[in-house]
């Protein structure tokens, strides 16, 4: 068993805690929108696709901001990103709750919430990856990613209870307070990169990533994006994000409109994904690290999990369609979505880290996130509402999600186990 300096372990756990809080707030935005979508569209007399457009635009701003957050954390660590996120994410909820017109809603929600949430994803994933690598990464990211299902459970139920006696405006104002406090705490406990404290990342050096990943090679962004691994990862991630954001933003509406479930029952079923996720996040992290140990090659292990993840999404979509025949299929779909969810987002970052190393991962993953999140969440959530408005049913929306999960699976099969830079001899840094 690898011996870890007690101070390094403490700092690493603080990084995981800060990431947990950031993920909690980020996915709090996503999970509560699905619950707020119906009441917002009804009270403001907007169509589902009109209301979903605000979320889509928010995710576009989020993607652009994520790229710049990657540059911030490579240089200064995650603290500035979390504190900026605290201000903008809180304003995103609060100011939106005061809007009275559709264009005010689009502007406030898209810009303020987009900048706030955009400071959270790359910061949380890359910071954990910078501190933990090899067979230590997935379990630690699994602990951090538990913030997502916890948010889905606690905040979705909280919003549902508020909606019983009040409206979506009061719900958003309460959420503004929650995210501000959580992200200020995250900023206070966040740490810089391990080398700033004289440490190397915890865990074995990524194997299978070629000399670049193991020997301290400092990849340039342009150079990394001239290789297939990053584009294969982007396509795999994008296919899953199209499906995931469509399902997450529209599934409550699917249950209440197509299947005529009461909102309370549909919300409780939706929350089941989060409840299962609380356990699946760390459990699948342990499984992923054991796969890496078994293969003896981190890139190969992460690739295997990136194939398995969207396959779970495909089966979950099929079960979702069969929910009209039995609620049991809906429950099974929630379990499978939770398993998928525990694998894909962190797995993509883990694979990229295994290939390109950690020194410039913030910039590389920031740009990859810009591409994926600039397209996936916006198009996925909008297509869910658009296909519903077009046909009056969510059947085609779920089929669309199923197909994009298939694309993700195929892309994962194509991922290589290494990337060879053109100028290794010029850029590999000599060990001190």
What residues does 217 pair with on adjacent strands? 428
Residue 263 CB burial class (10 angstroms; 0-12, 13-18, ≥19): middle
What's 206-248 look like in SS3?
CCCCHHHHHCCECCCHHHHCCCHHHHHHHHHHHHHHHHHHHHH
Identify the CA nearest to 361 among candidates 349, 343, 347: 349
Compute φ and ψ for 71, nearest 5 degrees. -70, -35
DSSP 334-352: HHHHHHHHHHHHHHHHHHH
Identify the CA nearest to 141 among candidates 355, 351, 366: 351
Compute φ and ψ for 199, nearest 5 degrees. -115, 155
Rounded Cα gap, residues 194 and 199, in angstroms: 5
Q: How far is CA 135 from CA 23, 56, 81, 95, 200, in A?
A: 22, 36, 27, 43, 15
What residues does 202 pair with on adjacent strands? 132
Count of CB atoms within 10 A of residue 258's CB? 18
Identify the CA nearest to 11 among candidates 184, 187, 192, 140: 192
Domain limits, the chain: 6-192+204-421
- In tens digits, the chain (432 residues) has pLDDT values of 456 778 888 999 999 999 999 999 998 887 788 778 888 888 888 887 788 788 878 888 888 898 888 878 877 888 999 999 999 999 999 999 998 889 999 998 999 999 999 999 888 988 898 888 877 888 999 999 899 888 878 887 788 788 878 888 999 999 999 999 999 999 999 998 888 888 888 875 544 444 445 446 778 889 999 999 999 999 999 999 999 989 977 888 899 999 999 888 887 888 888 889 889 989 999 999 999 999 988 999 999 999 999 999 999 999 999 999 999 999 999 999 999 989 998 899 899 989 988 677 888 988 998 899 878 877 887 888 889 889 889 999 999 999 999 999 999 999 999 988 765 544 444 333
For residue 385, the SS3 value is helix
CATH topology of domain 6-192+204-421: Growth Hormone; Chain: A; (1.20.1250)
Compute φ and ψ for 146, nearest 5 degrees. -60, -25
């Amino acid at each position: 068993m690898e011996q870890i300096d007690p101070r390094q372990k403490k700092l690493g756990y603080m990084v995981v805690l800060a990431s947990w809080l950031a993920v909690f707030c980020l996915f709090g935005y996503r999970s509560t929108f699905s619950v707020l979508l119906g009441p917002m569209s009804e009270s403001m007399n907007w169509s589902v696709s009109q209301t979903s457009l605000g979320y889509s635009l928010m995710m576009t701003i989020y993607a652009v901001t994520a790229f710049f957050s990657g540059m911030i954390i490579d240089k200064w660590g995650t603290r500035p990103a979390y504190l900026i996120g605290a201000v903008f994410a809180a304003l995103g909820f609060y100011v939106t709750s005061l809007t009275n017109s559709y264009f005010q809603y689009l502007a406030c929600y898209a810009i303020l919430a987009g900048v706030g949430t955009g400071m959270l994803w790359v910061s949380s994933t890359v910071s954990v990856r910078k501190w933990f690598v090899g067979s230590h990464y997935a379990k630690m990211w699994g602990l951090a990613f538990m913030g997502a299902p916890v948010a889905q459970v606690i905040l979705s139920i909280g919003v549902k209870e508020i909606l019983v006696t009040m409206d979506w405006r009061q719900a958003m104002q309460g959420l503004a307070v929650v995210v501000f406090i959580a992200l200020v705490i995250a900023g206070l406990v966040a740490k810089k990169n391990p080398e700033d404290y004289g440490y190397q990342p915890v865990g074995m050096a990524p194997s299978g990533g070629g000399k670049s990943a193991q020997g301290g090679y400092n990849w340039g962004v342009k150079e990394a994006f001239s290789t297939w691994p990053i584009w294969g990862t982007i396509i795999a991630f994008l296919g899953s994000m199209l499906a995931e954001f469509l399902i997450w933003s529209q599934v409550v509406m699917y249950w209440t409109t197509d299947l005529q479930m009461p909102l309370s029952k549909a919300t409780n079923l939706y929350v089941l994904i989060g409840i299962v996720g609380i356990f699946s996040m760390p459990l699948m992290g342990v499984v992923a690290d054991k796969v890496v140990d078994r293969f003896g090659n981190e890139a190969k292990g992460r690739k295997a999990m990136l194939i398995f993840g969207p396959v779970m999404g495909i089966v979950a979509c099929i079960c979702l369609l069969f929910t009209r025949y039995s609620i049991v299929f809906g429950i099974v779909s929630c379990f499978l979505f939770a398993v998928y969810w525990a694998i894909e987002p962190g797995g993509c970052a883990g694979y990229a880290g295994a290939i390109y190393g950690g020194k410039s991962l913030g910039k590389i993953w920031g740009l990859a996130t810009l591409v994926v999140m600039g397209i996936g969440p916006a198009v996925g959530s909008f297509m869910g509402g658009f296909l519903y408005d077009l046909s009056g049913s969510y059947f085609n929306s779920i089929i669309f999600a199923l197909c994009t999960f298939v694309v993700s699976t195929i892309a994962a099969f194509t991922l290589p186990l290494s990337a060879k830079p053109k100028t290794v001899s010029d850029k590999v840094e000599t060990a001190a």
